[in-house]
Chain A
Amino acid sequence: MSLLGSYRIVVASDCCQTKPSLQSLHHFSKYSYTRHIHRMSPRAPRLHVDGAILGYQRGLRNQYNDVSLIKIKGVDSKEDVDFYLGKRVAFITKAESADKYGNKFRVNWGKVCRAHGSNGVVRCRFRRNLPPQAIGGKVRVMLYPSRV
């Protein structure tokens, strides 16, 4: 397996961190450096989009807990929502006890059902309704099932 792990060049005044391109990697290896070159194993990829839990579907005085409203990052109009329809949504919590694989993270799966309004907010249904303390919390909108 070719080792195309990314190399992070750590500099004291490194404020803007750019991923070195393939060409720049070859360039750096030719010159001697006083800086550290930390080799990083390729990080786990991010294959989801973050979403914020806004609350439940509701009128002013009644709320319907089966449907939650989610604001997907970067999605600001009804047209943009079309890509996300049907995508699975994960509400992840950390538990004290591990499951049989040693995993302490628990997931409540849901899916994006439809747009809510015209500004990119989305209605989601979960296997178990979201707990109210989750309002304001994060949710992961996965990229599957993919229709691309």
Chain B
Amino acid sequence: MAKTPRYYPAEDIKPAKVVHKVKQNPPRVRKSITPGTVLILLAGRFRGKRVVCLKALESGLLLVSGPYKINGVPLRRVNQAYVIATSTKVDVTGVDVASITDEYFARSKDAPKEAEEEFFAGDAPKPAVVSDQRKADQKKVDESLLKAVGAVPMLEAYLAAQFSLSANDKPHLMKF
């Protein structure tokens, strides 16, 4: 048996807790959703719109664009669960969205102050102010996206058309 050393600390030293470093896995995206897939939005402001998926962001949300000129859907994040992936695919290899990440969509820090003023001002909701940067990025992305969409016959009209269920439609039998 080891002899207790002559000098030892007065207080017991607790061994450092093992801190497990949080491993961030790449976002898990359904197999049917790849960059370039046409998606149907099921909820939210743009429900029923058919939209092109550009990429999966770090947070797991999908980056999507109408394109804006076709159906009014801007560069937007969308949750996979609220989306049906169709089998229609667009070739978006020429579209550069590397600079657009989750931080791009983060709310500005000015928002809480504005909210207080609003509270005292009135009930009418303010119209959304689209920053020039967003407009510029939208234009840039859509330039190449529209070319890719134009290359496929009838795809532009398809993206402009709205998805809706009609009588006798059975989603569980539909092949998207």
B157 cross-chain contacts in A, Cβ below 8 A: 4, 22
Once A1-B72, A45-B47, A47-B47 are accepted as A-B contacts, the answer to whether A143 and B164 lie under 8 Å apart by CB is no
Q: How far is the CB of B77 from chain A (nearest CB, A)?
A: 16
Confirm or deny: B43 has a beta carbon within 8 angstroms of a beta carbon on chain A. Answer: yes
A44 cross-chain contacts in B, Cβ below 8 A: 48
B166 cross-chain contacts in A, Cβ below 8 A: 46
In this complex, the interface size class of chain A, counting residues with CB under 8 Å from chain B, is 20 to 34
Is B164's CB under 8 angstroms from A47's CB? yes
Instruction: Using CB atoms, name the residue of chain A closest to B69.
Output: A1
Confirm or deny: B171 has a beta carbon within 8 angstroms of a beta carbon on chain A. Answer: yes
B169 cross-chain contacts in A, Cβ below 8 A: 74
B30 cross-chain contacts in A, Cβ below 8 A: 147
A46 cross-chain contacts in B, Cβ below 8 A: 164-166
Is A80's CB under 8 angstroms from B172's CB? yes
- Interface SS majority for chain A: loop
Report how many residues on chain B are interfacial, defined by Cβ distance under 8 Å.
33
Is A45's CB under 8 angstroms from B164's CB? yes
CA gap between A42 and B69 in the complex, in Å: 17
Digit string of A105-148 for contact with B (CB within 8 Å is 1, else 0)? Answer: 00000000000000000000000000000000000001111111
Q: How far is the CB of B174 from chain A (nearest CB, A)?
A: 9
CA gap between A76 and B47 in the complex, in Å: 27
Confirm or deny: B84 has a beta carbon within 8 angstroms of a beta carbon on chain A. Answer: yes
CA gap between A83 and B43 in the complex, in Å: 18
Confirm or deny: B97 has a beta carbon within 8 angstroms of a beta carbon on chain A. Answer: no
Confirm or deny: A35 has a beta carbon within 8 angstroms of a beta carbon on chain B. Answer: no
The A24-60 residues at the B interface (CB cut-off 8 A) are 42-49
Is B83's CB under 8 angstroms from A146's CB? yes
Q: How far is the CB of A45 from chain B (nearest CB, A)?
A: 3
Is A144's CB under 8 angstroms from B162's CB? no
Confirm or deny: B148 has a beta carbon within 8 angstroms of a beta carbon on chain A. Answer: no
Instruction: Using CB atoms, name the residue of chain A closest to B47.
Output: A47
Is A144's CB under 8 angstroms from B48's CB? no
A143 cross-chain contacts in B, Cβ below 8 A: 42, 84, 171
The B125-176 residues at the A interface (CB cut-off 8 A) are 156-157, 160-166, 168-173, 176
A2 cross-chain contacts in B, Cβ below 8 A: 69-70, 156, 160
Confirm or deny: B82 has a beta carbon within 8 angstroms of a beta carbon on chain A. Answer: yes
Is B71's CB under 8 angstroms from A148's CB? no
Instruction: Using CB atoms, name the residue of chain A closest to B80.
Output: A146
Once A2-B70, A45-B47 are accepted as A-B contacts, the answer to whether A146 and B81 lie under 8 Å apart by CB is yes
Instruction: Using CB atoms, name the residue of chain A closest to B82.
Output: A144
A49 cross-chain contacts in B, Cβ below 8 A: 165, 170-171
CA gap between A84 and B171 in the complex, in Å: 9
Q: Which of B70, B71, B72, B164 contacts A43 (CB 8 A)?
A: B164
Confirm or deny: B85 has a beta carbon within 8 angstroms of a beta carbon on chain A. Answer: yes
B163 cross-chain contacts in A, Cβ below 8 A: 45, 47
Subset of 9 A-B contacts with CB under 8 Å: A2-B160, A45-B163, A46-B166, A48-B165, A49-B171, A74-B170, A82-B172, A142-B43, A143-B171
